[in-house]
Amino acid sequence: MSKNSDNSGLVKFIILIAMLAVVILGAYFIVNRSKDNTEEEIVLTAVQKITTIDLNTSYPPTPREVVDLYCQIMKVMYKEDYTDDEFYKMAAVLSGIFDDELLANQSNWPSGLATEVQNKKDGDYSISVYTIQPSSDIITKEVDGEEIAYVQASFAFRHGTTTENLNYLYILRKDSNSKWKILGWTTDSQE
């Protein structure tokens, strides 16, 4: 065999390896690009964050977290735009954190809530910020054999260009499934 024949075979081998490397790299980039597209993080709107809550699988474990969820929902209802269907889904989440006794006293639920929220939106009211007292300061006690919790929350209600601060005391009761439910609220100070 001649030396040219050996060089020619070597060159063909190197070209074949280079082409194989290009094919492998191309396949690698195609696979990874499609993975990147499927792994994109879905960003939910404030309304969608509430309408996708499943209280059966992720119920707030503490009185403070129940009140926080209530405050989040009311803030979104007063400020954001949403469809009627989204409103009813948010109202369903609210009813899921309300005590049965509170719901029984709401003869026009959720239409009364819809009217209240629409009046606030029409009047240019919104909740700009709210704060909830720390868990360590929340009072819980037994009343008539039931566990009751008292949670204070402060709201900054914006009306046009002015802001009014209001304090609420939420009363929660533990239900038969050991879930804290909002029994009611008042603007009075804590006992």
What structural domains and CATH numbers belong to the chain? Answer: 58-186 (3.10.450)
> Which pLDDT does position 85 carry in this prediction?
96
pLDDT tens per residue across span 40-80: 678 899 999 999 999 999 999 999 999 999 999 999 999 99
Counting residues of the chain whose pLDDT is more than 90, the rounded percentage is 67
State the residue for tokens 């260009």.
161
Say if residue 111's pLDDT is above 60: yes
The token duo for 190 is: 């804590």
CA pair distance 168, 186, nearest whole angstrom:
6
Task: Give me the sign of the Cα torsion angle 57, 129, 140, 176.
Answer: negative
> Which pLDDT does position 47 carry in this prediction?
96
CA pair distance 42, 49, nearest whole angstrom:
11
Tell me the H-state helices in the chain.
3-38, 46-51, 63-79, 84-97, 100-104, 111-122
